[in-house]
Amino acid sequence: MVTFVTTNPGKVHEAREYLDEPVEQRDFDYLEPQADELATVAAHGAREAYKQFQEPVIVDDSGLTIDALGGFPGPYSSYVEEHVCIERVWRLVSEEDNRSAAFRGVVAYCDGNPFAATPEPVDDGRRGQDLSAEKRDSATTDDQVADGAIPVKLFEGVVPGTIVAPRGDGGFGFDPIFEYDGKTFAEMETEEKNAISHRGRALAKFADWYEQADR
Ligand code: IMP
């Protein structure tokens, strides 16, 4: 059994579609660190949730990264959506030549045990905001154990796209200004979006590993 720590039942429903294992939802409120990377936020959440429940947990964090804005809003996506509004984000990006962006989702898994080193990023609990993906990938389980950190395994799903003027009535958040393959996410049916979404891609990677990994 895997416990998905989230307040959003929709995410749990989506996870069940990827995993053969039973997935249970639990709510748990913890302070999110201020960090430039979604992975840092998700890893912290997984550790806190594991400490709380003492059972295998997953936590996810996602957001929109805009290349011309140095990856902004990233982990600040929900704040920006609420307080700046997507129309103004579009206006900001419309002044740029490069309008490329990506939706990114990170699933963080923690069961208190170390993992065998794999090409997947393994969070070692010491990673600063500036640590590159390359260094992150080379972190080993031994480092983590020596460090006394609780190991967390990270799975990232990415959907590349382009920021456009708002179109479409569906979806939520930044969907109306994110275009993928000629359509904004808000112009897609839920099933169509879920089949390519960052969260789905991260969950699929997690499910692949979870079902065959020597945990
Ligand atoms: P969460 O981590 O999944 O709760 O997402 C944080 C924020 O990122 C949301 O409040 C949205 O602003 C943005 N976001 C994440 N996923 C999506 C998506 O699929 N479509 C639109 N916005 C998203």
Which of 150, 127, 126 is closest to 49 using CA atoms?
150
Q: Whose CA is nearest to atom 14 of ligand 1?
A: 63
Q: Whose CA is nearest to atom 1 of ligand 1?
A: 62
Query: Helix/strand/coil (H, E, C) string of 100-122?
Result: EEEEEEEEEEECCCCCCCCCCCE
| Percentage of residues of the chain with pLDDT beyond 90 | 65
Q: Write out pLDDT tens, residues 131-147.
A: 344 444 444 444 444 44
Per-residue confidence (pLDDT) for residue 156, from 0 to 100: 93
Ordered domains of the chain (ranges, CATH)? 2-212 (3.90.950.10)
Which of 106, 86, 67 is closest to 184 using CA atoms?
86
Per-residue confidence (pLDDT) for residue 134, from 0 to 100: 46
Per-residue confidence (pLDDT) for residue 99, from 0 to 100: 98
Per-residue confidence (pLDDT) for residue 123, from 0 to 100: 52
Q: What residues does 160 pair with on adjacent strands?
A: 102
Q: Write out pLDDT tens, residues 146-187.
A: 444 788 899 999 999 999 999 999 999 999 999 999 999 999
Using the atom order of ligand 1, give the atom closest to the CA of residue 63. 8
The residue to mutate among 64, 82, 86, 194, having the most atoms of ligand 1 within 8 angstroms of its beta carbon, is 64
